[in-house]
Chains A and B, each alone.
Chain A
Amino acid sequence: MVQVTKADVRRVAHLARLTLTEQEADAMTEHFTRVLTYIEKLNALQTDDVEPATHAVTVDAPLRPDRVTNPPNPALVQTAPARDATFFKVPKVLG
């Protein structure tokens, strides 16, 4: 039985920049515990000599030539929720 604490959940929530209500944090703690306990079954497998699977495709990495193929595109800022001329605008980091 994997024991996950609410503090673990809060730490991870901060890393993922997600606020959780008390209720959500409780539910998440329980969910984590259940899922991670289920996942423990993997420990039954001996994998010391097994290579981790990286990519399904085993070909050389594709490379592109060093050429500018995109024209200037300041219009892409138009999807921004807030902008200042062609800057993206965000709240400052506070102390």
Chain B
Amino acid sequence: MEYETVIGLEVHAQLLTESKIFCGCSTKFGAPPNYHTCPVCLGMPGVLPVLNQRVVEYALRAALATHCQIAPHSRWARKNYFYPDLPKGYQISMYELPIARHGHVDITVSECSKRVGLTRIHMEEDAGKSIHDAQSDASLVDLNRTGVPLLEIVSEPDMRSPEEAGAYLRRLRAILQYVEICDGNMEEGSLRCDANVSIRPRGGAALGTKVEIKNMNSFRAVEKALRYEVRRQQETLESGGHIAQETRLWDADREVTRSMRSKEHAHDYRYFPDPDLLPLVIRNEWITQVATTLPELPAARRDRLIRDYGLPAYDAEVLTARRDVAEYYEAAVRAYPAAPKAVSNWVMESVLRTIKDQKLDDALTITSWPCPPEHLGALVRLIQEGTISGKIAKTVFDAMCASGKTPEAIIAEQGLSQVSDEGALRSLIDHVLASHPDKVAEYRTGRDKLMGFFVGQIMKASQGKANPQRLNTLLKQRLTDTQ
């Protein structure tokens, strides 16, 4: 029996506002427990919520960036349940009337494009944190995070493999980062993901029993957990068992999904419209105004790079995964427009590798680049013009990163200019050939491989500065000539 996987993802994104969604407390991470609290976010008697305008603006950015329909009226709802990190005993969220619906995100997996639908986007408040004290029978509750604004983004169950889910998640994060509303850090919890997974016989129309998977704390964990769960469901069905509708947690240590301790009663959240908040009215003027502040989005930028710079899709994809990297690349190309592919290679191989090594990409926007884009552009120009070889260029790049100097300055200081002058090269060739007459003779008997030896010797003699292409041409000529 062949099975088809059906996956839907529910993502929570913490929004980068200064203050909380319903009160004027700071959202800054890392403060001592219960530092950034007030009667409102602590759920003290008699307090009332007042909505932060920027939260709505950020929701509109996300909605526009994912091509959603924006509701002219949306409504706050109370989701009622008891937990120590939920001070009011309810979470202010949205239920029947979310702010946005029916959007999509386009992804590419193994060169195939696919459109993943977005069911809805809405805003809600985050809960606090409980720390379970291993020694005692107490839990400690820190409510700093209570009231931090979240965007909940629910996809249609359109993904058919863990890879598609991973691609969707990465693309969604890129979009949220592009519109600068969320830094998308799964390890720190500013981006969270729950999945709904089911399988059905291939070609079947009805959906199988849905299992919710939680506690996946990285992109890799999401893909691993989904792969495991799909396999588990298949094995269960194939051995005649049936899938229970339940919530399972990803256990990253044992790399399995485990059923949560079952509770006697399923959650009954008793949603109803929050009487303390008026319905949210979004007028077209506001939508238009937010639309003008949106940057060029990842997909459009990628397509433009392919079109305008002739880059392969892979390069364009990598370069536009982060907005700051895309801007860097284009700044470098502006400095030297003649070889966009070469610039792309340098950005992808050298710049991005350095960033990854130094973990500079943890920031929402990279501010300390290994070297300024203009210098990178100049470096590529110098290679293309033959001033230095590609090999020497790597040395120059490292020196640029270390010193911040321009490539011209470094080349001048260290005398790294490539030797391309014919006369100079010929004399180097003559010198080396004269030093190894036996090898020359061997070469003439047909041992072509000795070319490499001569090139190596000349490179050594020239301290690596001989222009390899010119050298090759002249050396071949010389060896043939003397025949």
Contacts and interface: CB of A to CB of B under 8 A. Distances in A.
Q: Do chains A and B touch in the complex (CB under 8 A)?
A: yes
Interface of A: 11, 14-15, 17, 54-55, 57, 59-70, 72-74, 76-77, 79, 82, 84-93, 95
Given A57-B278, A64-B51, A88-B143, A17 B34 contact: no
A90 B34 contact: no
A87 B140 contact: yes
A90 B34 CA distance: 15
Interface string B126-155: 000001110001111111000000000000
B35 A73 contact: yes
Nearest to B281: A60
Given A68-B19, A72-B35, A87-B33, A55 B275 contact: yes
13 contacts: A17-B82, A64-B53, A65-B53, A66-B18, A66-B52, A72-B35, A76-B34, A76-B38, A76-B42, A85-B33, A86-B33, A89-B140, A93-B139
Contacts of A88: 34, 84, 140-143
Contact of A73 (B17, B19, B37): B37
B481 interface: no
B270 interface: yes
A77 B38 CA distance: 10
A80 to B, nearest CB: 9
Contact of B138 (A69, A72, A91): A91
Nearest to A94: B137
A73 to B, nearest CB: 6
A57 B279 CA distance: 10
Query: Which applies to chain A's interface (DSSP): helix, strand, loop or mixed?
Result: loop
A91 B55 CA distance: 34
Interface in B35-57: 35-39, 42, 44, 50-56
Given A54-B279, A86-B32, A67 B37 contact: no
Contact of B141 (A15, A68, A89): A89
Given A64-B51, A92-B139, A70 B26 contact: yes
Interface of B: 17-19, 23-26, 31-39, 42, 44, 50-56, 75, 82, 84, 131-133, 137-143, 261, 264-265, 268, 270, 273, 275, 277-281
B275 A86 contact: no
Given A62-B50, A72-B36, A89-B138, 13 more contacts: A54-B273, A60-B281, A61-B277, A64-B24, A65-B54, A67-B24, A70-B23, A72-B26, A73-B36, A82-B138, A87-B33, A90-B84, A93-B139
A74 B141 contact: no
Contact of A61 (B39, B261, B273, B279): B279
A46 to B, nearest CB: 23
A66 to B, nearest CB: 4
Name the 3 nearest CB pairs between A and B, nearest first.
A69-B24, A66-B54, A87-B140
Contacts of B52: 63-66
Nearest to B42: A76
Contacts, number: 120
Contacts of A92: 132-133, 137-139
A76 to B, nearest CB: 6
Contacts of A89: 138-141
B138 A14 contact: no
A70 to B, nearest CB: 5
A44 B140 CA distance: 52
A73 B39 CA distance: 10
Contacts of A72: 26, 31, 35-36
A87 B51 contact: no
A91 B82 CA distance: 14
B53 A63 contact: yes
Contacts of B32: 74, 86
A84 B138 contact: yes
Contacts of A60: 278, 281
A54 B137 CA distance: 44
A76 B56 CA distance: 29
B74 to A, nearest CB: 10
B37 A68 contact: no
A39 to B, nearest CB: 17
Contacts of B26: 68, 70, 72
Contact of A86 (B34, B39, B268): B34
A69 to B, nearest CB: 3
A66 B53 contact: yes
Given A61-B278, A67-B24, A86 B35 contact: yes
Contacts of B19: 66-69
A53 B26 CA distance: 35
A11 B261 CA distance: 20
B233 to A, nearest CB: 27
Given A61-B277, A64-B53, A70 B38 contact: yes
Nearest to B22: A64
Contacts of B268: 15
A82 B84 CA distance: 13
